[in-house]
Structures are given as structure tokens and as C-alpha cells.
Structure 1
Amino acid sequence: MNQAVRSEPGPVRQTRFSFGNPPRGSVAVVDTIEGIECCSEAIEDLAENAVHPNPFYEPWCFLPLLGASDRKRRLRLLLVHGTNDDGSGAHDTLIGFFPFEQKLLHPLCPVHCLCPWRDSYRWTLRRTPLLRSGAVANALATLGRWLVAERHAPKILVLDDLPGGSGIIDGVERWRAEDRRLCHVPDMHESHLYRRQTDAEAYFSRVLSGKRRRHLKRLRRLLEDLGPVRVADVDESEDIDRLLNEFIALESSQWKGKIGTSMASMPNGSEIAKAILKEAHRRKRLSLLTLRVGDRLVAARSAFLAHPGCFGFKMAYDEDPVYARCGPGFLLDQEGIVRLHDDGDLLGKDIEWLDSCAVEAAALPLSMRTEPLPLHRYVVAVRGGVSEIVSRRFHRVMQALPWRIRRMSAF
């Protein structure tokens, strides 16, 4: 069944597909910002009950970035409704949110795909779809049936940033085994995970050598020689506007500002960043650790709380040689680990791990992590024809090309 429905307000276009007899799942395709705004409440509920959290796809973070991105991009925001895997629950329950955009796999490859949406600023640091706990398999199976049945959609889609060891991977493997109409080409990259131990001392004993710990203590003494050192996290009594202005200015003063990737360097970047961070603070979802020497802010690190974990967002430190030689970024990260083990602290209450959201080669999280975080990618294509051939060979062809050409890939 293919039925177009319209919601108010705004020019909203949804297309709903139902599968099964009786149907256990349906897919609504939303291609406007106004359309997805109408679904915010349902997505909020899904995020609260997701098998793995992703604050970057929650409406309070997602919608401001979506509004600031290029309006010419072809949005394909998929809302999957259905029952739980065991058939319980209402058929109209939102069980999956897949924010896709339609684009070419590569400018040199005239084949379209659906790839996870990322904002123009590249602040969407994780593109893990939101999937309801207990309904992962049905959500993925319904997505696969939609991909096969929909005549006007690309026959290739990409699922990215699926964390290893999560219920999502179990669901994908079950999907691969059961739906023979699709081929799944897997790939993987790594990030860094800080997992809570019995206490902070056990954590540092696991990840740092004695020599490294002594070096950090020496850096702390060097910093204390410059003035009184104070570390704090944001709280309700904080002047949040002043703090965010300080944070954005500090980031803009370092190398990110020089190469044009800081929050303040982007068009309307400061306003969008402050709107997101203030909303996270209002929801008690923001950790903004600050390290000061006297009244001078020398390092700051922001993270979004998403129980049972949290996700790193932006970090900045003072590059003035007087302060930079003391390693303020490393010292602040060390303090964050201490607070991760304190149940009375914002970062420690009900938080079991921190996803750094950093690239694999990032020096700071690489030296402080407890374990690598495997992030899986699946290129899913309908079997037969060009889509299957391209999906199977695309990765190997890209690896043989120079980096400047590879970076134009859709993912």
C-alpha cells in the first residue's frame, strides 16, 4: 500500500508504506523540515527508549542543525512504525528513525544512495539511527522491505556508526541472515571509549603507565605555579550565556579558528552552537567542564549526557605557550575521568561510559581510553543489477584512489 498523507502546519509530505498481513511495520518518508518538526514528540519518546542512545539525532540537537544546513539537499527522513519483535505493542508505535539524504555515491560514480544525514558544519559526530529497544529486528526488516518495494528510492543505503557489542549489531546480523533479497557489505572503523571502572584509581592504573602518571602530576604542578587552579562543571546557578561565550571564544582562538573549523568560524555557527548547548543545559544533558587558572579559562570540554553514557562534543584549550606547555587539555580530561567515577557528580550519576566521538588518530583520547570503540558500517543493496555490483566493489575501488578523490565519497 502506498498512501500519501499531509500534516499541518507547513508544506509536509509523507509517504507511508505498509508490509505484511497483518502489517507489522510501515515506513513514513518525510522530506521537509516542517514535516519532521511535527514528529518531534514521537522521536523524543523513541530516543528515551532507544537500544543505543544518539543525542545528535534527537530533535533538540538535530532540528537546529537541519535548519542551518543547505535547503537544496534531498532529505529522506525515514520513520519506521510497528510492533516489537515479539509482535506485542501497537502498530503505530515509532520504532526507528533513520535520517537519510539522497546523494551520489561519488561524483565519479553516477549511482544514488541513501546515506546517513550529517549537518553542513559536521557537528553530527555520530550517525547511529535511533531504534527502539525490543523492536530492532522488526525496524530493520521493515526498512529492508521498503528498500525492495519502493520504486523511486535508490536501491543502496548506508548504515553507519553502529557501535560494536550493541543490540543494533545483533539486529543487523539477524537481518542479514533472514532477508536474502539484500546484500550487506560490512566495514568498520574505530573511535575511543572511556568505560567506568571500580574507581578512578583503577581506571588510571589500567590506562596509564607509572611514568605517564608522574608526568601528568608534574604538569599539574607547573599549572599551579601560574596561579590557583579550579575545575568546575556547569550547574543551574551558572551564567550559561557568559560561559558559552567564553567557551566559543577560546575555541576560536586556537588552531580551529585559524583553519576555519571553529564554531565561530561557521556562518551563524556561534548562534546555532549556543542554542544547542543551552537547550542541552536546560534539559540537564550538558556537561561543560572548565579548567581555570585564576580567572583565565585555559581548557573546556563539552559533552552530551545520554544515559547510560555520554558523548563528547567540543573541546578547546589555551594555546598560549605559557599555558599550553602544562597540557591543560590532558589535565582536564584526567579530571573528567575522576568525575566519571563520582556518583555525586553530573558526569558520574548513572553514567557508565563516555564516547569521545574523536577520530581514530586523536592523541588525547587514544592515550586515555579504556578500549577501542568499533563502529560498523553496512552498505545495503538490493540484490541483482547495478546496485549490488557497485556496493560490493565501491569500497575496494575507493581504497585504491588518492585521498583527495576518496574524500568526495558520500560516506
Structure 2
Amino acid sequence: MATRAKDATKRAGVFSHQLSSWRDAADGCFVAAWRDLGDNAAEPNIFTESWFLRPALDQFDAFGRVKLFSLWDRDRLCGLMPLSTQQRYGRWPMPHVQNWLHHNAFLGTPIVRAGYEDQFWTEMLACLDNDPGQSLFLHINGLNIGGTVARALENVCANTGRRFALVHRTERAFLESGLTPDSYFENAVRAKKRKELRRQKSRLAEMGALTFSRDQSGTGIAAWTEEFLTLEQRGWKGRSGSALASAPATRNMFIEVLAAACVAGKLERLDLRLEGKPLAMLVNFISASGCFSFKTAFDEDYARFSPGVLLQIENLAMLDRPDIAWCDSCAAPGHPMIDSIWTGRRTIGRYSVAIGGAGRRAIFGAFLNTELARNAVPVATMEQVNGAGDDT
């Protein structure tokens, strides 16, 4: 991938693309265009919107190595994806370019304006063909399989004879239904479990004032954020070193992202409290018609009362909102708590795609054949395999 600060190419007198350092995207006009793109994306992805991605880059890319690929239709921003160069692909020394993600970014789909999906991939692949640097292929991590953006990638590659493959896929909990919250809960959770949850809630209420709150305002946001960080740090994530507050960079990112999301009108905070003490807290981010259930924390001293589950039951109220069509759990596959409540599943996958000239594509093709063969998957198909690329 190009190492120079900026690379712009005009095509057909209308479309242009840029591949530039993310630090060059700080001016007000670019940020405003970026914000408009996020609000009008074919597939919402909060992790690539300006209010989330910029704080993440500030914290995790101190040397400014990540670049932003952007597609423009005259002066209208129509697509954006962060890219980075990796020297290894899993355990193999295979330099490649891939979409940049960090450990708290749970979706890698680029934000692309509706109607520009094919053009986005056409321009990006042409850009990488012309100047791939040392990279032998493009690896795209965290795409929503079956979504319009992933389908456009498949179509562009198939129509141009470009070698590509879906090399890994997983599923995670996803909420999407025309049912009311009560009906959904009754259909998803067996009667015996529902009875037990009602009993646990009643026992908590006997211990004092049990309150639930849902807030989309900025009132008390700083104090609420600190409460969340403290609650998470006290649990198993704190003990394992994976809590947000375990590292200054993730702590700072969380604080900055919540504040920025609040200003952008994208933040929803939920909590369950006993006598004012938080038992469970949840961060949702709203983007267009979608919702991302980003982070949750609960007090392990009250684990026998299932406060996290009780809060997720309250969270089902989003099914009544006409402006929200779905919610992504952002959870690990097979998560025991959320999988027991949300019956839908979203499939997330990784694609590897040929770039550059004939020699580079031949090397990639041989490597891809080896990877697919190792996992006993026919090369001509796009079935699930257990391939692995870098996560960050």
C-alpha cells in the first residue's frame, strides 16, 4: 500500500478516491462530510463513523500509520474505510493490506453511501492494483455477510475475474423482529426461566428501591461513564486485564467515544440500580436504523439475581421503536447470556482478495489454494474455513 501521505485519482470526470493519512482528515469540511456519510450509509457501522473512529485512532495509532480510503462523487463523500499494512497473516509471513480494526471494534464493514457499493470496491481495488506496495493481497475483516456491501464486493470480483474467497465466518446474537417486547421475550425464553427471572427481580426489589433508567441525554455523562468503568473493572474483566480501565488507551477511548456519541445524538445509556447503586449498565449506540449494543457490565456480588439479564429484558423495549430496525449484540459467538435472549444471528466474515499484477496474483492464488486445502474446503466455493488474519 502506498506510503505517501495522499494519493488522489480522478475517474470518468466524476468519481475520485483518496488514500491518505487519517491525520489529514481533521478539517471541519471533511469531518462534516464524514458525519453525513455515516448518517446515510447503506449499512450502518458505528465503528467507522467519525465520532468513534477518530478517538480510536488517537489512542491506538500514535504514529499515524493507518490510512483512510475515501470515495468521492465530486464533493460528496460516498465511502470510507481505514486501511493498514500487516507483515504477517496469522502465522504466515505474508504481507497484506487490510481494513484496520482494534480490539473494541466489532464490525469492519466500510461505510458506503447507498447506491455506491459497487463503485466503492471498484475504486478501492483499482487503487491497490496501481500501488500495492509490498502487500500481496487485500484482507477484509469483519464484514456483514449477506449485506449489500459484502454482496457488492463479491459481485465486483466475480464480474472482473478477480480471485477472492470468504475464508472465515462466525455468528453472533442479533435482535430483529416485528414482535412486541413481551411477545419476543415469551417466544425466546422458556416459561420456567421467565418465572425464575421474575422471582429474582422480586427478590431484588425486596432489598430496596429497584430502578431502571434509559437516557439519551448528556446529563451526568461524565459521572455515569466513570461508574461504568469502575463496575466493569471490579468484575472478571478487571481480574483478567481486559476491562476498559485496565489500560489508559482503552479507558481514554471509551470516555472520548461516549462523549462524542452523546454530542452526535448516537448514545443510549441503560442501567439497573438498587438504592442508587448500579447493578448492571449498558451502552447502546444508535446509527440510522440500527443499534449496536456495545458494552455491558454488572455487579458480580449480585450475580445470583442475574442483573445483566434483567437489564437486557428492559433493553427489548427497542423493538417498539419505529426508528430502530435491528440491534447487533457485538458479543462473542456463543455468548451464554445474550444468546439465550436474542434468537437472531448475524454472520460476520473475512474475505481475502487478489490485488496487483499477474505475478502478485499468482502468489496470492497459490497461497489461497493452500489455505483452503488445509481446511478441506473446495477452492471453487466460498464455504466456511478456519483461516485467520490479524485482528488489528
For this structure pair, what is the TM-score category when the shorter chain's length is used for normalisation?
0.7 to 0.9
Instruction: Give the length in aligned residue pairs.
Output: 375
5+ residue gaps, structure 2, are: 377-385
Partner of 1:26: 16
Alignment match of 1:194 (pick from 165, 171, 175): 175
Q: What is the RMSD of the two structures over their aligned residues, measured on CA atoms?
A: 2.6
Matched, 1:36 2:13: no
Partner of 2:221: 240
Q: Residues 148 and 93 of structure 1: is their aligned pair in 2 closer, same or farther, counting only changes over 3 Å?
A: same
Partner of 2:78: 95
Return the offset for 1:235. Answer: 4.2
Partner of 1:328: 307
Partner of 1:55: 46
Structure 1 counterpart SS, 2:70: strand
Structure 1 counterpart SS, 2:106: coil
Structure 1 counterpart SS, 2:251: helix
Higher relative contact order (CA 8 A, sep 6+): 2
Alpha-carbon separation, structure 1, partners of 2:80 and 2:129: 18
Partner of 1:341: 319
Structure 2 counterpart SS, 1:305: strand
Query: Is residue 147–residue 153 contact of structure 1 (8 Å, CA) maintained in 2?
Result: no
The two structures have a TM-score, normalised by structure 2, of 0.88
Alpha-carbon separation, structure 2, partners of 1:351 and 1:108: 41
Structure 2 counterpart SS, 1:118: coil
Structure 2 counterpart SS, 1:178: helix
Return the offset for 1:59. Answer: 1.2
What CA deviation, in whole Å up to 9, does each residue of 1:264-305 have, x standing for no partner? Answer: 111243333112112212222111110001111110010111
What CA deviation, in whole Å up to 9, does each residue of 1:111-165 have, x standing for no partner? Answer: 211112123xx11121111111011111111222222222526241122322234
Alpha-carbon separation, structure 1, partners of 2:218 and 2:79: 37
Matched, 1:216 2:205: no
Return the offset for 1:72. Answer: 4.3
Structure 2 counterpart SS, 1:189: strand
Q: Residues 100 and 349 of structure 1: is their aligned pair in 2 closer, same or farther, counting only changes over 3 Å?
A: same
Alpha-carbon separation, structure 2, partners of 1:80 and 1:397: 37
What CA deviation, in whole Å up to 9, does each residue of 1:6-44 have, x standing for no partner? Answer: xxxxxx92111344xx2554331113x421223322221
Matched, 1:410 2:383: no
What CA deviation, in whole Å up to 9, does each residue of 1:22-76 have, x standing for no partner? Answer: 2554331113x42122332222121111100111111111111101114347323
What CA deviation, in whole Å up to 9, does each residue of 1:187-236 have, x standing for no partner? Answer: 32111111132311221132112222112112212222222210001243
5 Å-filtered alignment, 1:154-303, equals: 154-180=135-161, 182-186=162-166, 187-236=168-217, 238-303=219-284
What CA deviation, in whole Å up to 9, does each residue of 1:290-335 have, x standing for no partner? Answer: 0001111110010111121110111100011xx1100001110011
Q: Residues 371 and 237 of structure 1: is their aligned pair in 2 closer, same or farther, counting only changes over 3 Å?
A: closer
Q: Residues 132 and 326 of structure 1: is their aligned pair in 2 closer, same or farther, counting only changes over 3 Å?
A: same
Partner of 1:17: 9
The two structures have a TM-score, normalised by structure 1, of 0.84
Q: Residues 113 and 163 of structure 1: is their aligned pair in 2 closer, same or farther, counting only changes over 3 Å?
A: same
- What letter corresponds to residue 84 of structure 2 in structure 1? E
Partner of 1:319: 300
Alpha-carbon separation, structure 2, partners of 1:267 and 1:397: 40
Matched, 1:394 2:383: no
Alpha-carbon separation, structure 2, partners of 1:106 and 1:135: 30
Structure 1 counterpart SS, 2:157: helix
Q: Residues 408 and 158 of structure 1: is their aligned pair in 2 closer, same or farther, counting only changes over 3 Å?
A: closer
Query: Is residue 155–residue 387 contact of structure 1 (8 Å, CA) maintained in 2?
Result: yes
Structure 2 counterpart SS, 1:105: coil
Alpha-carbon separation, structure 1, partners of 2:34 and 2:129: 25
Return the offset for 1:367. Answer: 0.8
- What letter corresponds to residue 44 of structure 1 in structure 2? R
Query: Is residue 380–residue 391 contact of structure 1 (8 Å, CA) maintained in 2?
Result: no
Structure 1 counterpart SS, 2:390: coil
- What letter corresponds to residue 55 of structure 2 in structure 1? P
